[in-house]
């Protein structure tokens, strides 16, 4: 069974994303509510995909993305899907350039998110 790490500081969003992905894709999900927790999990556990919010307290989602891509984690090449309220093209381009595989804006559209994560899992 595929393992997906969901990172968002809002518990309701984490739980919604977890329900969507576990029901529609039958994946095992692990939840992280802080950047620090996300980085600790990413350093310790290999995932098949990571769903990451950008606007989070602490170092922020962009720093988490950079750390995973540049660090010596087992997830250096794991597909990362950004899910964020930020929708300007410059931010999206920066995230893709920094190593994100896909970008979705909130409120997330269930079918689109499922399709994206499914596609990333099949490339893994």
Give the model's pLDDT for residue 68: 97
Please write the tens of the pLDDT for every residue from 25-49.
999 999 999 999 999 999 999 999 9
| Per-residue confidence band for 64, with pLDDT thresholds at 50, 70 and 90 | very high
**Which pTM does this prediction carry?**
0.97
At 124 the pLDDT is 56
| Encoded tokens for 102 | 């896909």
CA 114, distance to chain mean position in Å, is 13
Distance from the Cα of residue 123 to its chain's centroid: 16
> For the residues 52-76, what does the mean pLDDT come to?
95
Range of the domain at 102: 3-123
Question: CA-CA distance, 63 to 115, in Å (whole number)?
Answer: 26
The CATH number for 39's domain is 3.40.50.2300
Domain count, the chain: 1
Among 21, 20, 87, which residue's Cα sits nearest to residue 55? 87
Q: How far apart are CA 62 and CA 18, in angstroms?
A: 21
């Amino acid at each position: 069974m595929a393992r997906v790490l969901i990172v968002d500081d809002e518990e309701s969003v984490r739980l919604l994303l977890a329900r969507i992905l576990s029901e529609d894709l039958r994946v095992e999900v692990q939840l992280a509510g802080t950047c620090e927790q996300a980085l600790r999990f990413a350093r310790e556990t290999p995932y098949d995909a990571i769903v990451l919010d950008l606007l989070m307290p602490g170092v922020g989602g962009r720093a988490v993305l950079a750390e995973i891509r540049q660090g010596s984690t087992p997830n250096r090449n794991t597909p990362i899907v950004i899910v964020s309220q930020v929708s300007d093209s410059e931010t999206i381009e920066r995230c893709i350039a920094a190593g994100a595989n896909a970008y979705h804006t909130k409120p997330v559209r269930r079918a689109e998110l499922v399709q994206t994560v499914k596609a990333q899992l099949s490339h893994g």
